[in-house]
Chain A
Amino acid sequence: DAGVTQSPTHLIKTRGQHVTLRCSPISGHKSVSWYQQVLGQGPQFIFQYYEKEERGRGNFPDRFSARQFPNYSSELNVNALLLGDSALYLCASSAPLSPGRSGELFFGEGSRLTVL
């Protein structure tokens, strides 16, 4: 089975531009989360979607938005890019928590965004 897939893998933007990152979860997973990983730091939670509804939002400005589609894929949008938005953006999916099943997050390989 395919893992979490993200696109694009790398992209370069200039300040003020907009970016859209895409994620396809593992088949059967209904929860998708987005994390930002700045070089040399741990991932920081941005958004969580479950069954197409936003279930959580981290401490990020309104320039960051996301959505989940009926097929459970997801998009992360960032407007008015700043130099500090340069990071690896990770998408993770998980199966619903249930007895005997952990809420393990499976991460994709990320989209590396460079803002010049």
Chain B
Amino acid sequence: QQQVKQSPQSLIVQKGGISIINCAYENTAFDYFPWYQQFPGKGPALLIAIRPDVSEKKEGRFTISFNKSAKQFSLHIMDSQPGDSATYFCAASIEETSGSRLTFGEGTQLTVNP
């Protein structure tokens, strides 16, 4: 019940295109859904996050869509750029005062061709 499943495993997009990554979760107690971006040799960095009281959150070129009834959420990267080439992880957790314990998806390796 703690799994988060992510797809696709890899994604190739042309510069200017839209990148879409999907995740599904099982535990209905999860109440915090972040997306992390990781470059080779670096630790994951928070990109954008959403809570289940809203269905969409947009920050610049990045948008999270959230479907509570389907237990799914997705990341949309608009106008994808070569600098966006990285591995993206969705995650989910139950937020607590002491901090979140994240359950990560398997990751999506995004390549944006110039």
Residues of A bordering B, CB below 8 Å: 4, 31, 33, 35, 40-45, 48, 50-51, 55-56, 58, 90, 92, 94, 96-98, 102-110
In the bound complex, residues from chain A placing their C-beta under 8 Å from that of B104 are: 42-44
Interface residues as binary, B90-109 with A (CB distance below 8 Å gives 1, 0 otherwise): 01010111111111111100
Nearest CB in chain A to that of B109: its residue: A40
Enumerate chain B residues within 8 angstroms of A31, measured Cβ to Cβ.
98-99
Q: Is the CB of B42 within 8 A of A109?
A: yes
Q: Measuring CB to CB, which residues of chain B are less than 8 angstroms from any residue of chain A? A: 6, 32, 34, 36, 41-46, 49, 89, 91, 93, 95-107
**14 contacts across the A-B interface (CB closer than 8 A):** A4-B43, A31-B98, A40-B107, A42-B91, A43-B104, A58-B101, A94-B99, A96-B97, A97-B98, A103-B100, A107-B36, A107-B43, A109-B42, A110-B43
Docked-complex contact A42 and B89, CB < 8 angstroms: yes
Could you say which of B43, B89, B91, B93 contacts A108, with CB atoms under 8 Å apart?
B43
Say yes or no: A42 contacts B107, CB within 8 Å. yes
A107 with B45: CB separation less than 8 A:
yes
Which chain A residue shows the least CB distance to B98? Answer: A50
Partner of A103 from the list B32, B42, B44, B89 (CB cut-off 8 Å) is B32
Q: Find out whether the CB atom of A105 lies under 8 angstroms from the CB atom of B97.
A: no
Residues in chain A near residue B42, CB distance under 8 A: 109
State whether B99 touches A102 (Cβ < 8 A): no
Contact A90 B106 (CB under 8 A): no
Q: How far is the CA of A45 from the CA of B3 in the complex (A)?
A: 12
Least CB separation from B44: chain A residue:
A107
Distance A94 CA – B32 CA, assembled complex (angstroms)? 14
Contact between chains at B107 and A109 (CB < 8 Å): no
Tell me which residues across on chain B come within 8 A of A42, comparing CB atoms: 6, 89, 91, 104-107
